[in-house]
């Protein structure tokens, strides 16, 4: 098994070796390399203490990022490399932070404090792969498995519960049965984890290739920090448009959405109010009147609680509110909605509707996807041709109307809206002279 170490990493390991210290690439970078992915950063571990490391790296730029935890950052060619002393963690307080860390001289001890077998491998050119817990085998089988006793590992640091789901989603892996059973036993410990940490892990989980499968299988764990989803699993829709219950529909729609955080959050939350809005008509068919508006309120509350930024909260909330609006494949209708939403959010809405329909019954899906394709074509043409769909696209503006004798009041705004509607409905071309003539008639209206 070989890992192609970058020259800089090899150089750092060589510098340590010249002073008699081992050095290994470790953790995520080894895992990603073995998966054939390019690691986003390279971490190195060594038995040298921070003081000993400093003596090795004289002449290089070294930043003391976390000396107490044994970490120095070495800069090479403008790239930071974290070099960390082998360590073991002391007792954990608050199910997240160790009371203390102790530097040790054994690589295996350092690897044994790491969370999952696939994250507990080290590599250098001299020794090759150091893999005491079967990480390579689990990587090949696509399995997330705790190093050691899962109950203890999740109890020490509850963030690992969500990291397990995140890695499984990102790599499309399954969670090994003992680890999965422990996740469920220990899930309540997630209450000890800060909203910021949950946010980071949930966002990565949602954007993973295997997000649908993980959501489908672990709603009880997500429900620890989003209890609003609790009634969704198993909630039958009693409606011919649907082939899945509310939660499976949600999971499949997340999976079918592009891997953009906003879209995946919308899919996760778009039907969150369905259980509380459920009614059945005289024929027994299920309906969910008003779930869009109530869902938008719930989504806003959840996203704020999880500390998403205002822009994300606003965009997701808006898209949850309008995920069900009917759009006609007609240029005028498209331009009216485009004027309200703007091009970026209009495109997002189409992606949301596509993901939503693709998780309904096959027949209902096919008809509506065809309609969305037509709308997409119309949209593309409007944008390519620079057609007018906002007041600011009109060939006349407020100053033109003031020059005609309008005063700066509501009437001027209304006149511009009227002109826009005439242009959008193709009763009048977007032509300055013609619009000025009509504006003249609106002055005394």
145 C-beta neighbours (distance < 10 Å), count: 25
How far apart are the C-alpha atoms of 105 and 264, rounded to whole Å?
Answer: 44
Instruction: Tell me how far, at minimum, the Cβ of 99 lies from Mg ion, in Å.
Output: 24
Instruction: Tell me how far, at minimum, the Cβ of 119 lies from Mg ion, in Å.
Output: 9
Check: CB of residue 219 under 8 Å from CB of residue 183. no
User: Residue 143, class by beta-carbon neighbours within 10 Å (0-12 exposed, 13-18 middle, 19+ buried)?
Assistant: buried
Under the binding rule (CB under 6 A), the answer on residue 356 touching ligand ATP is no
Under the binding rule (CB under 6 A), the answer on residue 115 touching ligand ATP is yes
How far apart are the C-alpha atoms of 327 and 235, rounded to whole Å?
Answer: 28
Instruction: Tell me how far, at minimum, the Cβ of 28 lies from Mg ion, in Å.
Output: 4
Based on its alpha-carbon atoms, the radius of gyration of the chain, rounded to whole angstroms, reads 29
Instruction: Tell me how far, at minimum, the Cβ of 153 lies from ligand ATP, in Å.
Output: 8
Q: Which tokens hold the place of 300? A: 């806003």
| 312-317 long-range contacts, CB within 8 A, separation 24+ | 312/261, 312/262, 312/265, 315/262, 315/345, 315/348, 316/262, 316/265, 316/266, 316/269
Tell which one of 45, 130, 139, 159 touches ligand ATP (CB under 6 A): 159
Number of residues that bind ligand ATP (CB under 6 A): 10
Under the binding rule (CB under 5 A), the answer on residue 200 touching Mg ion is no
CB under 5 A: which stretch of 24-32, 90-98, 138-146, 194-202 binds Mg ion? 24-32
438 C-beta neighbours (distance < 10 Å), count: 15
How far apart are the C-alpha atoms of 83 and 435, rounded to whole Å?
Answer: 68
How far apart are the C-alpha atoms of 387 and 335, rounded to whole Å?
Answer: 9
Tell which one of 87, 95, 145, 160 touches ligand ATP (CB under 6 A): 160
Tell which one of 6, 10, 28, 395 touches Mg ion (CB under 5 A): 28
Tell which one of 114, 264, 291, 354 touches ligand ATP (CB under 6 A): 114
Answer with the entry of ligand ATP, Mg ion, none that 275 interacts with (C-beta below 5 to 8 A by kind). Answer: none
Instruction: Tell me how far, at minimum, the Cβ of 181 lies from Mg ion, in Å.
Output: 27
**Closest residue by beta carbon to ligand ATP:** 28
Q: Which tokens hold the place of 395? A: 């060939």
* Minimum CB distance to Mg ion smaller for 23 or for 339: 23
Answer with the entry of Mg ion, ligand ATP, none that 228 interacts with (C-beta below 5 to 8 A by kind). Answer: none
Tell which one of 110, 157, 176, 228 touches ligand ATP (CB under 6 A): 157
Q: Which residues bind Mg ion (CB under 5 A)?
A: 28
Residues in contact with ligand ATP by CB under 6 A are: 27-28, 43, 114-115, 119-120, 157, 159-160
């Amino acid at each position: 098994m070989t890992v192609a170490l970058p020259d800089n990493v090899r150089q750092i390991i060589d510098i340590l070796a010249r002073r008699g210290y081992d050095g290994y690439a470790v953790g995520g970078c080894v895992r990603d390399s073995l998966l054939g992915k390019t690691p986003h950063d390279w971490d190195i571990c060594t038995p040298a203490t921070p003081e000993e490391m400093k003596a090795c790296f004289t002449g290089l730029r070294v930043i003391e990022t976390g000396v107490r935890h044994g970490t120095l950052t070495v800069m090479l060619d403008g790239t930071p490399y974290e070099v960390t002393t082998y360590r073991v963690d002391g007792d954990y307080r608050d199910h997240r932070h160790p009371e203390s860390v102790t530097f040790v001289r054994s690589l295996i001890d350092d690897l044994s404090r790491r969370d999952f077998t696939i994250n507990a491998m080290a590599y250098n050119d001299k020794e090759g792969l150091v893999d005491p817990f079967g990480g390579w085998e689990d990587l090949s089988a696509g399995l997330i498995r705790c190093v050691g006793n899962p109950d203890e590992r999740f109890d020490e640091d509850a963030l690992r519960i969500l990291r397990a789901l995140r890695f499984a989603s990102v790599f499309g892996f399954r969670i090994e049965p003992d680890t999965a059973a422990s996740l469920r036993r220990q899930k309540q410990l997630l209450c000890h984890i800060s909203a910021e940490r949950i946010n980071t892990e949930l966002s990565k989980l949602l954007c993973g290739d295997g997000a649908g499968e993980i959501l489908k299988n672990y709603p009880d764990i997500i429900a620890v920090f989003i209890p609003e989803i609790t009634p969704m699993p198993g909630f039958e829709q009693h409606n011919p448009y649907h082939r899945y219950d509310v939660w499976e529909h949600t999971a499949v729609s997340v999976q079918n959405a592009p891997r953009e955080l906003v879209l995946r959050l919308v899919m996760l939350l778009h039907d969150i109010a369905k259980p509380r809005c459920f009614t059945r008509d005289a024929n027994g068919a299920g309906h969910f009147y008003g779930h869009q508006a109530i869902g938008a309120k719930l989504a806003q509350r959840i996203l704020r609680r999880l500390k998403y930024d205002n822009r994300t909260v606003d965009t997701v909330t808006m898209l949850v509110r309008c995920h069900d609006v009917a759009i006609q494949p007609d240029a005028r209708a498209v331009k009216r909605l485009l004027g309200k939403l703007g091009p970026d959010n209009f495109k997002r809405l189409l992606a949301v509707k596509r993901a939503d329909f693709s998780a309904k019954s096959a027949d209902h899906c096919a008809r509506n996807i065809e309609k969305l394709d037509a709308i997409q074509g119309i949209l593309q043409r409007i944008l390519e041709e620079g057609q007018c769909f906002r007041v600011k696209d009109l060939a006349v503006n407020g100053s033109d109307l003031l020059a005609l004798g309008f005063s700066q009041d509501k009437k001027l705004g209304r006149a511009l809206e009227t002109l826009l509607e005439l242009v959008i409905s193709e009763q009048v071309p977007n032509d300055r002279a013609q619009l000025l003539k009509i504006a003249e008639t609106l002055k005394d209206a």
